[in-house]
Amino acid sequence: MRKPLVAGNWKMNSPDESCTKLLQKMLEKTHVIESMLKTMPNAEVDIALFPPSVYLKDTQEILSGSNLQWGSQNVSAYNEGAYTGEISAAMIKSFGCTYVLIGHSERRCLYEKLELDQHILDKIVAEKYCRSVKNGLTPIICIGESSDDYTSGKTEEIIARLLDILIEERGVKELAKTVLAYEPVWAIGTGESATPEWAQEVHSFIRQRIAKHDPETAESIRILYGGSVKEGNAPAIFAGPDVDGGLIGGASLDVEEFIHICFAAALKTG
């Protein structure tokens, strides 16, 4: 059984004072969830927070020694050099990060404005993936279709294209060192999540596509769903057998709501 993971992407929210407060509050609440989980023998969940990068040092200081993990919202595709504003995988690792988000659609759209084609964008994601794994980080690789692609039935094509590039880049076994996040772009921050049936269908497609190369990797890799997950819809979405938790944006800024979502994920194994 795969251990569920819930990742909270704080995006560019939270000013200085409240970011550290939010971290403290999360920490307090996870003690509550831990004691609740102790009463349910098999229930378990990994929880990771993604604050803006300038708070990674605070995050490390506050969360070190706890069961909470953390990561960066982005990583450079390069090791070092003249890349103003970028952060390397080694720098991210030095702040105790376990994870890094890669290919989030809100970043992809910055490149899309430069009119880079999708294949090049997927290649950049693959380079970031390589860089992260080489530096001991676990990438959470976002994958998902735009609204237009959804309505024209291209979801599987979009997903297969990136998966194939990732597998080509480092082989299928390396993919086991990552987490995938299916994030339909039309569901991010819109309040309109995918139905549990749709999420499960796409997750199953992803797993089957990987299984064609290596059934063991397909069985072990965690695939998260992201896109307007809330306390209310989390249990139904997480019930899908191929859904291993969630990547949560807006709702991760509300401690109570986020903890309920984490609890819903933990119940998958409980």
Strand partners, 7: 48, 247
Please give the residue whose beta carbon sits closest to ligand PEP in the complex.
249
Q: Which is nearer to ligand PEP, 95 or 186 (CB)?
A: 186
Which residues ranging from 154 to 173 are in contact with ligand PEP (CB under 6 A)? none
Task: Tell me the closest approach of the beta carbon of residue 188 to ligand PEP, in angstroms.
Answer: 4
Give the count of residues interacting with ligand PEP (CB under 6 A).
13
Q: Which is nearer to ligand PEP, 226 or 245 (CB)?
A: 226
248 binds ligand PEP (CB under 6 A): yes
Task: Tell me the closest approach of the beta carbon of residue 175 to ligand PEP, in angstroms.
Answer: 20
Contact map string, positions 250 to 269, toward ligand PEP, x by CB under 6 A: xx------------------
144 binds ligand PEP (CB under 6 A): no
The only residue of 4, 103, 196, 226 in contact with ligand PEP, by rule CB under 6 A: 226
The only residue of 249, 255, 259, 268 in contact with ligand PEP, by rule CB under 6 A: 249
> Which one of 61-69, 151-159, 162-170, 245-253 is the stretch in contact with ligand PEP (CB under 6 A)?
245-253
Q: Which is nearer to ligand PEP, 102 or 229 (CB)?
A: 229
228 binds ligand PEP (CB under 6 A): yes
Task: Tell me the closest approach of the beta carbon of residue 9 to ligand PEP, in angstroms.
Answer: 4
Task: Tell me the closest approach of the beta carbon of residue 71 to ligand PEP, in angstroms.
Answer: 13
Which residues ranging from 5 to 64 are in contact with ligand PEP (CB under 6 A)? 9
Residues known to be catalytic: 104, 183
The whole-angstrom separation of Cα 56 and Cα 41 is 33
Q: Could you tell me which residues come within 8 angstroms of residue 180 by beta carbon, excluding any fewer than 6 positions away?
A: 140, 141, 143, 206, 221, 222, 223, 224
> Which one of 41-49, 158-166, 181-189, 199-207 is the stretch in contact with ligand PEP (CB under 6 A)?
181-189
Which residues ranging from 182 to 201 are in contact with ligand PEP (CB under 6 A)? 183, 188-189
DSSP-derived secondary structure for the chain? -PPPEEEEE-TT---HHHHHHHHHHHHHHHHHHHHHHHTSTT---EEEEE--GGGHHHHHHHHTTSS-EEEES---SSSSSS-TT---HHHHHTTT--EEEES-HHHHHHHHTTT--HHHHHHHHHHHHHHHHHTT-EEEEEE---HHHHHTT-HHHHHHHHHHHHHHHH-HHHHTTSEEEE--GGGTTTS-PPPHHHHHHHHHHHHHHHHTT-HHHHHH-EEEEESS--TTTHHHHHTSTT--EEEESGGGGSHHHHHHHHHHHHTTT-
The whole-angstrom separation of Cα 188 and Cα 55 is 23
Binding site for ligand PEP (CB under 6 A): 9, 183, 188-189, 226-229, 247-251
